[in-house]
């Protein structure tokens, strides 16, 4: 075969290899058609971007992705086609000199293999303008597609779209670039790689403000176990290149970022979690209203608990039986979940091609080997050895979403929900022929019993009954005419009628075979003489599920239809289910005085509406506000009257607001406010509180902060666009040092950049880092930033308030209301959506339902959670 034109000619022409350490491009024709390696290089050139490269025909087909890849299938990331690169570029990491083509820092961010979509020739589809492939990398996994956009006259090159396909690896927008900040080759951050680039200058400025200390040399390796983002910091083997083929690196099990629970202390469980009694729902007479409830589809299947640990999994029935052998595909899929250990709650169903579930189809599938089934997971009891059952429902679902993702049938799926709008969902489910919905209190913990914080609302009546006998059919071939049913009541069985429809001939024969070994001579309970005539009786062991129209006044079912046997529920637990009234009252019993008082005159928001807001979002606030010293902004007569700051507690707030003694600088001790439950927030609001500000450390170890907060406070007259640009700059500099950060709309004019920390460093060290970081930025760009406390020095600039990070200082808590015009609230957002907001006060106290819905969205999963320590400087 004739050698084709050199595909690396453009690559070589763009570079001066006497100045750059990049490898010279050489093309090996022997590599044609061999190998499907891929890699991603994080590249801090004129603009930070991610270079996505696929090995094909002896070169690396390359695209520059400005915002990096996203696991959210809704994100369409721009990918600009660049020149082909040589295979030797697969291991490159380092510095391209300033002034050279692509000058800047390059990090090897991901690597692995890519598999073209079956039946498609990637050479042909690349030429046609589309690629469909599966990635098996250390960070990027699952199905992806790339599509070439229609060209425009102004375009310099080919613009493509990189998009994640919905599968079990799908996730939130922040799940990749925001969480993985270190090299897979060396474990270094961008700053550690860029020893002579901008990151080094920042590091030098910081170090220059501190006494000299030992620093890493040019050739030194970072300390092992350094820790940011779950990386070890130790060296990792390069990808090898042999005869033009890129060998995939050794597989690592932690392709996802560490789960939030791992960030709080790591896995504690080596064995499979033990079975626990599942929480059960109470039959309700109508759908609960309000944003304090979340609503899920009621699945028509088998309830189960899924235990996972050490690459193994077990499926428990709701009564604790081990049914793992009945669901082999579910067990295999669960064992591959990237979690140290977990105990999850869900329902196994059989889905048809329209997405509807059928109990009879499920039973048929189980009898045929239990394949092709789907487990919808809707709750978590344990994750990585941490008992999360006491957390609010909405937070447990958030933790669960980070493990499972959306995926697609079959196997494991995250059970989606909506906040509020339960009646609309119920009507839609009934119109679609579904069973009904499950409504759950968003703020409720998990309880191993039947509760009224979980409600089931059914489109038609259906429940379990105990089979106590059968009546023979006049047609000999049929076997029986009907089944006789009972429920437990008052310590004994009570007859409730019979069912004679819903049977196939095969099912009748199967049931008769089950009846013969347990047949008895007398009825297990009293049955009317007319109903008992000619009946055959059985021991009350078998449980079946029946759909029916209603119970008569005598307690007998009408128009019943057999749905199937229930092997997962003991006969002793079968009782008549009666619809219960919904507990509309909130869980706390705090009496609200003057509920009609207008707290925000401009927005006409009353005290009762403010209370309702905090009750609705209390579950979202607790992870940030509970068990932490708080300072309160109290406005007893409303925000336009006298307001004052209060941090000490004299015991006047009631039993739900607690006190902790903290030693002051003068050696004395003061009692500070803290709360443990949502009721504590409500008690504070009853006493006139609008705002909640919290320390950067929990009461468990008051001297060790668990977060940094950088408050970007713009001078009067600066546009919010400048604030957003400043926040992004801080985010970028922090990422260069290996620190993951998150944006928070403050409910005012600014943005907070929140940096979670593993509580290790004490206050002096944390304050020192924050101060030097802010001063370094102000020194680098004095026309934009200042860290000077004097207001006169802030004119036209952004004040970087590092004093939020000293002992005793506070910052506004996520979801707290603000005593400002319009009744705004602080709200977590993602970096991807920051540009969409035109103010730091986008959300108000009337947006509780929207905030609850956003909190469970993929975009915000894992917000504010990362396992990381301050970098060495």
Q: Give catalytic residue positions.
A: 298
The encoded tokens of residue 53 equal 């490269």
Q: Tell me the backbone φ, ψ of residue 274, rounded to 5 degrees.
A: -75, 155
8 A C-beta contact, residue 672 and residue 702: no
Q: Tell me the backbone φ, ψ of residue 111, rounded to 5 degrees.
A: -165, 160
Question: What's the rounded Cα separation, in Å, for the pair 305 and 328?
Answer: 15
DSSP conformation letters of 641-702: S--EEE-B--STT-TTEEEEEEE-TTS-EEEEEEESSHHHHHHHHHTTEEEEEE-SS-GGGT
- By CB atoms closer than 10 A (0-12, 13-18, 19+), residue 540 is buried
CB atoms within 10 A of CB 381: 21
Query: Which residues make beta-bridge pairs with 63?
Result: 52, 81
Q: In degrees to the nearest 10, what's the CA dihedral of 622, 625, 629, 633?
A: -120
- By CB atoms closer than 10 A (0-12, 13-18, 19+), residue 651 is exposed
Q: Are strands 798-801 and 785-786 parallel, antiparallel or unpaired?
A: parallel
Query: Which residues make beta-bridge pairs with 671?
Result: 661
> 3-state DSSP call for residue 308?
strand
The encoded tokens of residue 175 equal 């799940």
> 3-state DSSP call for residue 811?
strand
CA atoms within 13 A on the CB side of 724: 15
Residue with tokens 């820092």: 105
Question: What's the rounded Cα separation, in Å, for the pair 198 and 184?
Answer: 22
Query: Which residues make beta-bridge pairs with 137?
Result: 112
> 3-state DSSP call for residue 228?
helix
Which residues make Cβ contacts (< 8 Å) with residue 380, sequence separation at least 6? 342, 343, 344, 345, 388, 396, 397, 399, 400, 403
Question: What's the rounded Cα separation, in Å, for the pair 567 and 569?
Answer: 6
> 3-state DSSP call for residue 462?
strand
8 A C-beta contact, residue 699 and residue 759: no
Question: What's the rounded Cα separation, in Å, for the pair 65 and 369?
Answer: 45
Helix (H) or strand (E) holding 744: strand 742-745
- Orientation of helix 720-736 relative to helix 198-208, angle to 10°: 90
- Orientation of helix 393-404 relative to helix 607-625, angle to 10°: 50
Query: Which residues make beta-bridge pairs with 824?
Result: 844
Q: Tell me the backbone φ, ψ of residue 366, rounded to 5 degrees.
A: -65, -40
Question: What's the rounded Cα separation, in Å, for the pair 338 and 168?
Answer: 11
| Cross-sheet strand order for the sheet of 742-745 | 785-786, 798-801, 707-714, 751-756, 742-745, 827-828
Residue with tokens 């059919």: 473
Question: What's the rounded Cα separation, in Å, for the pair 868 and 873?
Answer: 15
Question: What's the rounded Cα separation, in Å, for the pair 287 and 276?
Answer: 28
The encoded tokens of residue 822 equal 């319009």
Which residues make Cβ contacts (< 8 Å) with residue 175, sequence separation at least 6? 70, 71, 72, 256, 257, 402, 861, 862
> 3-state DSSP call for residue 426?
helix
Question: What's the rounded Cα separation, in Å, for the pair 329 and 556?
Answer: 41
């Amino acid at each position: 075969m004739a050698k084709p034109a050199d595909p690396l000619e453009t690559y070589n022409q763009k570079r001066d290899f006497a100045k750059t350490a990049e490898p010279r491009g050489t093309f090996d024709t022997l590599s044609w058609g061999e190998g499907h390696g891929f890699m991603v290089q994080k590249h801090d050139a004129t603009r930070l971007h991610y270079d996505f490269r696929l090995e094909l025909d002896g070169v690396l087909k390359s695209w520059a992705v400005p915002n990096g890849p996203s696991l959210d299938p809704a994100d369409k990331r721009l990918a600009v086609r660049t020149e082909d690169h040589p295979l030797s570029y697969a291991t490159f990491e380092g510095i391209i000199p300033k002034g050279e083509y692509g000058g800047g820092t390059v990090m090897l961010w991901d690597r692995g293999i890519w598999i073209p979509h079956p039946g498609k020739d990637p050479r042909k589809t690349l030429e046609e303008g589309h690629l469909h492939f599966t990635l098996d990398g250390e960070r990027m996994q699952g199905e992806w597609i790339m599509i070439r956009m229609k060209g425009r006259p102004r375009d310099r090159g080919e613009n493509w779209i990189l998009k994640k396909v919905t599968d079990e690896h799908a996730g939130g927008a922040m799940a990749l670039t925001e969480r993985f900040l270190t090299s897979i080759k060396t474990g270094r951050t961008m700053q550690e790689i860029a020893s002579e680039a901008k990151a080094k200058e920042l590091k030098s400025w910081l170090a220059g403000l501190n006494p000299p200390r030992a620093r890493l040399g040019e050739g030194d390796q970072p300390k092992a176990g350094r820790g940011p983002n779950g990386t070890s910091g130790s060296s990792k083997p390069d990808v090898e290149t042999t005869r033009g083929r890129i060998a995939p690196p050794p597989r690592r099990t932690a392709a996802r970022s560490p789960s939030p629970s791992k960030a709080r202390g790591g896995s504690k469980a080596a064995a499979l979690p033990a079975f626990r009694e599942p929480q059960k729902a109470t039959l309700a007479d109508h759908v609960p209203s309000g944003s304090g409830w979340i609503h899920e589809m009621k699945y028509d299947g088998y309830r189960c608990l899924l235990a996972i640990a050490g690459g193994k999994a077990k499926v428990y029935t709701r009564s604790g039986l081990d049914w793992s052998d009945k669901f082999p595909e579910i067990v295999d899929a669960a064992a591959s979940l990237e979690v140290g250990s977990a105990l999850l709650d869900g329902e196994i169903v059989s889905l048809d091609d329209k997405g509807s579930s059928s109990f009879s189809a499920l039973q048929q599938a189980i009898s045929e080997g239990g394949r092709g089934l789907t487990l919808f997971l809707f709750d978590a009891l344990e994750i990585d050895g941490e008992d999360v059952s006491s957390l609010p429902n909405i937070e447990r679902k958030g933790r669960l979403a980070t493990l499972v993702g959306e995926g697609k049938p079959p196997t494991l799926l995250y059970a989606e929900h909506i906040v509020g709008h339960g009646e609309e969902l119920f009507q839609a489910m009934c119109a679609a022929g579904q069973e009904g919905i499950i409504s759950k209190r968003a703020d409720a913990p998990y309880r191993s019993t039947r509760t009224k914080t979980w409600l089931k609302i059914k489109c038609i009546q259906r429940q379990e009954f105990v089979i106590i006998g059968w009546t023979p059919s006049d047609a000999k071939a049929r076997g029986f005419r009907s089944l006789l049913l009972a429920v437990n009541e008052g310590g004994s069985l009570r007859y409730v009628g019979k069912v004679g429809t819903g049977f196939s001939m095969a099912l009748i024969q199967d049931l008769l075979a089950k009846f013969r070994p347990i047949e008895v001579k007398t009825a297990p309970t009293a049955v009317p003489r007319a109903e008992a005539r000619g009946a055959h009786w059985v021991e009350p062991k078998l449980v079946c599920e029946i759909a029916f129209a209603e119970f008569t006044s005598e307690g007998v079912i009408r128009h019943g239809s057999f749905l199937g046997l229930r092997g997962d529920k003991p006969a002793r637990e079968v009782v008549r289910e009666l619809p219960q009234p919904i507990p509309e009252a909130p869980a706390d019993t705090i009496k609200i005085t003057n509920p009609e008082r207008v707290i925000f005159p401009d927005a006409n928001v009353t005290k009762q509406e403010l209370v309702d807001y905090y009750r609705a979002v209390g579950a979202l606030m607790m992870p940030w506000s509970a068990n932490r010293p708080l300072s309160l902004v109290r406005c007893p007569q409303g925000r336009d009257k006298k307001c004052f700051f209060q941090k000490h507690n004299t015991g006047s707030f009631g039993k739900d607001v607690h006190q902790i003694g903290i030693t002051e600088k003068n050696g004395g001790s003061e009692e500070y406010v803290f709360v443990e439950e949502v009721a504590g927030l409500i008690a504070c609001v009853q006493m006139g509180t609008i705002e909640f500000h919290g320390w950067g450390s929990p009461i468990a170890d008051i001297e060790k902060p668990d977060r940094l907060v950088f408050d970007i406070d713009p001078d009067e007259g600066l546009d919010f666009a400048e604030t957003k640009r400043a926040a992004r700059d801080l985010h970028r500099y922090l990422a260069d040092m290996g620190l993951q950060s998150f944006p928070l709309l403050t409910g005012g004019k600014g943005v907070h950049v929140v940096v979670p920390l593993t509580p290790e460093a004490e206050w002096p060290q944390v304050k020192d880092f924050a101060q030097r970081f802010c001063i370094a930025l102000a020194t680098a760009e004095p026309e934009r930033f200042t860290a000077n406390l004097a207001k006169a020095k802030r004119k036209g600039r952004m004040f970087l308030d590092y004093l939020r990070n000293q002992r005793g200082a506070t910052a506004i808590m996520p979801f707290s209301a603000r005593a400002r015009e319009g009744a705004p609230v602080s709200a977590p957002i993602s970096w991807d959506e920051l540009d969409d907001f035109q103010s730091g006060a986008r959300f108000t106290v009337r947006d509780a339902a929207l905030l609850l819905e956003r909190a469970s969205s993929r975009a915000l999963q894992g917000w504010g959670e990362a396992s990381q320590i301050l970098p060495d400087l």
